[in-house]
Homo-oligomer: A and B are copies of this chain.
């Protein structure tokens, strides 16, 4: 099957959705799956559904499906919690692997929550750890022998700039540092060769390109050859080797299952599982090729139509994830005006208009039409309308 496969999604009429990098749309069949889980399984089978409806196995099954999209082996990805929690788990485990070092290296383009979680962990341990955040392009040089852990988001949430996963990981390993990749804007967006990179940890969320729905569970990968030595910081009962033996002492479960914590959110997991059906038979190489066609076309159209917007993403498509950002001083208001006209992107402070390209449900005509509407908004200064100036809490 070729891309796009719009028929697999319930997209509202009249909307061009360029914000699948923030919250993916509703896949067809997902609502029905959730309904069945709520009514037949929870309602009809009650507590028995943990076994009879396969709820106990679901986190691992979904983890295996995600593994297939990020170049990881089956059994190496655990699902659950939020991405911030998974960042904390990975970072706490990584620091234990380099007890003699005190530097966590990230970059200034990392998503703030990743940095916040590092700050919280540093405060909790309280042994003089330091978080360094050079500019993204200076990271490689900043990887020195002081560094315990390099923790980066592969694709910058603002600019779409993409780190070279293999090169940065190799550099980290060359100085004896542990590597953590946040794949929030990579999973389902670009081909990821996680096993090939040899990184120790990766984390990610599933409500963006994977279309798992609002608050869908996160995931964590641990490299199979080291996982049996990981002593989880967040050692909850569902990461225990025998959760229902109710032993007084924590004993980690086999492999990446030990990174599970508490009772999994079954309804959200079912939605995610249904959403992953849309990836059956698609290769990430195919997605990447289509995404580059879409984003190159968008850049061309916008630059021709809206000269006041400045490209805030790398011009080289190989150096970009699956989004394109433009800087515009009135970006917040302009994005509201655009959304009001059915083209949904989002805004990221201070001045970034962000557009995600998701080839599962977007085609070139969508992209051209979006650029046309953007041209109206910018050219006619439609963003000056007072109603677009009031900031809400999201987007």
Chain A contact residues (Cβ within 8 angstroms of B): what range?
A: 35 or more
The yes or no answer to A269 lying at the interface (CB within 8 A) is yes
Q: Is the CB of B42 within 8 A of A247?
A: no
Closest to A15 in B: B46
Complex formed: what's the CA distance from A22 to B233 in Å? Answer: 26
Question: Which of B38, B238, B246 is the one whose CB lies under 8 Å from A213?
Answer: B38
Q: Tell which of A10, A35, A38, A268 has the most Cβ of chain B within 10 Å.
A: A38
Contacts of A43 in B (CB 8 A): 10, 12, 25-26, 31
Q: Is the CB of A35 within 8 A of B31?
A: yes
Q: Is the CB of A394 within 8 A of B50?
A: yes
The yes or no answer to A349 lying at the interface (CB within 8 A) is yes
Question: Which of B31, B51, B108, B238 is the one whose CB lies under 8 Å from A392?
Answer: B51
Q: Is the CB of A262 within 8 A of B83?
A: yes
Q: Which of A276-299 contact B (CB under 8 A)?
A: none
Closest to A56 in B: B393
Q: Is the CB of A39 within 8 A of B51?
A: no
Complex formed: what's the CA distance from A374 to B141 in Å? Answer: 71
Closest to A80 in B: B82
Contacts of A246 in B (CB 8 A): 112, 158, 348-349
Question: How far in angstroms is the closest Cβ of chain B from A133?
Answer: 7
Complex formed: what's the CA distance from A179 to B249 in Å? Answer: 22
Complex formed: what's the CA distance from A120 to B92 in Å? Answer: 10
The yes or no answer to A368 lying at the interface (CB within 8 A) is no
The yes or no answer to A257 lying at the interface (CB within 8 A) is no
Q: Is the CB of A236 within 8 A of B116?
A: yes
Contacts of A371 in B (CB 8 A): none
Complex formed: what's the CA distance from A123 to B230 in Å? Answer: 12
Q: Is the CB of A248 within 8 A of B112?
A: yes
Question: Which of B158, B233, B236 is the one whose CB lies under 8 Å from A113?
Answer: B236
Question: How far in angstroms is the closest Cβ of chain B from A374?
Answer: 17
Q: Is the CB of B234 within 8 A of A88?
A: yes
Q: Is the CB of B240 within 8 A of A339?
A: no
The yes or no answer to A126 lying at the interface (CB within 8 A) is yes
Given A43-B25, A46-B25, A261-B84, A117 and B215 contact (CB-CB distance below 8 Å): no
Closest to A391 in B: B244
Q: Is the CB of A395 within 8 A of B85?
A: no
Contacts of A214 in B (CB 8 A): 42, 49-50, 55, 263, 265-267
The yes or no answer to A237 lying at the interface (CB within 8 A) is yes
Q: Is the CB of A265 within 8 A of B268?
A: yes
The yes or no answer to A250 lying at the interface (CB within 8 A) is yes
Given A42-B213, A56-B394, A266-B215, A236 and B12 contact (CB-CB distance below 8 Å): no
Given contacts A119-B235, A214-B267, 4 further A-B contacts (CB under 8 A): A80-B82, A111-B237, A120-B236, A214-B263
Q: List 17 A-B contacts (CB under 8 A).
A: A17-B46, A19-B46, A19-B47, A22-B47, A23-B46, A26-B39, A34-B34, A50-B214, A83-B263, A84-B236, A112-B240, A115-B248, A117-B235, A119-B250, A207-B263, A214-B266, A218-B262
